[in-house]
Structure formats: C-alpha cells, structure tokens
Structure 1
Amino acid sequence: MNKIEIRHVEVVQYINPLREGGSLPAIVKADDDFLYVLKFRGAGQGKKALIAELLGGEIARAIGLNVPELVFMNLDDSFSKTEPDEEIQDLLKFSVGLNLGLHYLSSAITFDPLASKIDAMTASKIVILDSLISNIDRTAKNTNLLVWNKEIWVIDNGASFYFHHNWPTWENHLTRTFPLIKDHVLLEFAENLKEASLEIKEKLTNLKTQEIIALIPEDWLRHENDTISPIEIRAAYKTYIEAKLAMIDNLVKEAEDAR
C-alpha cells in the first residue's frame, strides 16, 4: 500500500480569484511552476473547510476516484500588500501561513448531468462517498465535479463533515444516515451502489483512514472556540468515518430508496 504524501509548495504568484464560490478561491502559481486552485484558511469556514477538503479528497482518492493532486501551500504576507481589491486583500492577510491547493486542471469543464457521461460504478462510488462524509454540496445546482481528459474528477469537498462546526454535539451524528442524498446530482446514474460499497469497504481500511487523518496539519486543528483538543479532534474524525463505514449498508439502502 502506497503511503500518502502531500507536497509543500510556496505561492509565488496570485493570478486571479474564482468568483463562482463564496469563499473566493484563487488560481495561483507555486514555486514548482504549476498552477493550483488555492483554498484559503481565512475564508468563511476557515481551517475546518480545509480539513474537510483534505479528508474528503484523500478518501475519494483512496476508493479509486479521480481527484486533482492536493498540496499544502504556504502564503506569505507580501501578497496582501500589493492587492488593490479590499475584499481579496483582507482574505490574503487572514490566510498567511499554510493553506490547501488543488492542482489546476486546465481546460476542464463543469460536469453537466444533461450533457456529460458518467459510468454507473463511478457515479455509485461518488454517491456513497458523499453519504460517508456528509457532503451537502454535490447537487444539480453545484455539481463540484469536473470533466477533464474525458474523465470525471471530484473537487470541492469543503462542505463535508459539517458536524465539526459544533463539537459539543458531534457524537449525535454517529448514528445518523444522510437523507440529503436525495438531492445528489449523480443519484439517477448510481446503479451499482451495492458493488461500489463492497469495493469502498475493501479499500478504505481503518489503517488507511488513520493515515489520511494523520495528514491534517496540527495548526488547522486549533480554533479559539473549540471545546476539545487536537488529539481528541483527530480521534473524533476517525470515530466518525469508521461509524459511517460500519453502517454503509444502511446508507446504500437510503440511496436506493431515494432513487
């Protein structure tokens, strides 16, 4: 089993904001000469959205889905000083330090359920993925899927794991299914849910889950308002993912009933 390694790069050029998202991600260039979509720690949901992006992306990759390479991106304070737009200037100022980048897929197009093709197994895996990580943001309005080189790529998992916005009640989510799956953009194409669930259980072992959670930078686990420690937070993510995997048959049935 290959060990997951997330590269660290430095942002060397801010190119332009992507104004489709409320959190104003941006296309930037790094010191490795590649372009990335940079997700900012200073945006609306802050570091918790970066954690959800990291966990959701690497879980998707572990179960065999296409995900752009994720990298840790260091942003220094020089960019905010030269940015004329006040909103972006503030975002850059509050995002100095470690952020998250996704490799920019040049010329990729947004997945359109009416015009794009997707095979049943891929659709089924993505539906189950979003049930497992409680992703409320993969709907027809906002598919968060790209078509690149004739393949489907999973992006934007920052709305997942929403239980982590309120730690005092997080354990209440351990036994819940995910009724919002009824709104999933790929539900109608997900004809292989049972087969997909077997493959996911095989690939997403407890060891793999632990390895993915260990990737979270310590700094991202520290928030002024959190009531539990970083060690307890890592343990909570592990407990949550394992609890969802244990009830995967129920999640599959819920999705099948919704279809």
Structure 2
Amino acid sequence: MSKKTEFQALDLISAYSEKKKNPSHLELNQIFPNPNQPRLIGKEDTSDLVPSMERLGLIEPILVRKEKGRYLIVAGERRYRAALKLGWKEIPAIITDANEDVCYEMSLAENEKRKNLNPWEVGKAIQYLRKEKKKTADEVSTLLGYSERYVKQLSSIARLDQKSVMELMISGKPLSVKNLEDLLKRKENRGGEIVSPRDAFGQSKVSINIGKLNGKLRENFLKELNSLKKKYGINE
C-alpha cells in the first residue's frame, strides 16, 4: 500500500458546495467547454435539461476557472450547452482559482458522485491520472472512494477504444463493468481469464438479513445496495 497523498479536489468540492448560494453571473460568450474533461460520451445531449431549465431556470450553477481572459468549464458543460440552446445571455457560475490539475480531479470526483460517467469514462480518467499525472492507485482510490482493486479493474477497461464502446452502447447493452470486460476479452482474443472479481463467483448469490435495521437504516442500506448493483451491472 503506497503512502496517500491528499487530493486538493476533495477540499474544492466542499468549497464549491458552500459557494452555491452566491454565484457570479457570467456572459455565455465568455465561457468555453474544457477539451480535457472526464466526460467523453453524451456531453452534447441536453434533451433532458432544456425543458426543465426552461421551466425552472438553473437550479445549480456551473463551475469554471479563469484562463487567459476566458472561463473554462470545470463542471456543468451540459447545463452550459442547454443554456445556449435556450438563448440565454448569461448563466450563474462559481469561479475557482484552483489550477488545471486540481480542477480535473474535482471534475472527475463531482461527475462520479453524480453517476454521470460510465465505467469506461472513469477508467480513461483514472488512466490519465496514473500515466500523465503519476498518481498511484491508492491516491485515485482516495479521490473516488473506491478500493485499489476496483481502480485497477477500471484501468483495464480503459484499454477499449471509444468506437468499440459506442458500438456496445448502440447494441442496447448497458455500459456495465461486466459487459465492458467481456468486450475487452473479445477484443484482446482472450478466453476464460477473469478480469472482474465478480466473475469468479459465477451465479453465486448472497443473502442478507436486514430485519434488525430500523426504517431509516434499511432505506439507506437499500439505496447503497441499488447503487452497487448498478455499478457492477447486476440486474437480478
């Protein structure tokens, strides 16, 4: 286990939450999407946002950082694109003075917290942090709240190219960890090797008695369980 290095992005998320009550208002022509961001698929699709923003306005401001006289989006690109489609002139925004690396970490953590990224996108982001920014698996697991084993698992999925991932999505299969790992095996002409620790259990089932939990604890447990089932592609 390597020594942990605290991510400044974790503090930035907290600061971001505190500043939501008093955002600035920036003109849209001053704001630009960041070419280096974790979300790779579906960022142009705003069909779900436009109607709600037209009816309710922007409930949560976007997050930007200033660079060379313009503002680059750290979090909220789809909200920005929806505002453009609605013909807005300005948008509520929180301006951070954090550097590019910290903003990338923050964008990854924020997107993953909202479940805006599929496992392949998370894997590509992890790959970028580990190869380009020399972060350890332990450090990345701190940022995302994952085990080191799961971080390495997602890093393996990142070997897939975007075209293959898009073809899987178009086929109607969910971009679950299991489906992406199966695709990776086929692409790399591998047989029965196990990439995911979940595969080792075959069709095994786990029974849990939650009868002793009170109403609130039971509700929280089931919520977290559903989140885990979604993450690992468990449908039953």
TM-score interval, smaller chain? under 0.3
Normalising by structure 1, what TM-score? Answer: 0.26
Larger strand fraction of residues: 1
Structure showing greater Rg: 2
Larger helix fraction of residues: 2
Normalising by structure 2, what TM-score? Answer: 0.27
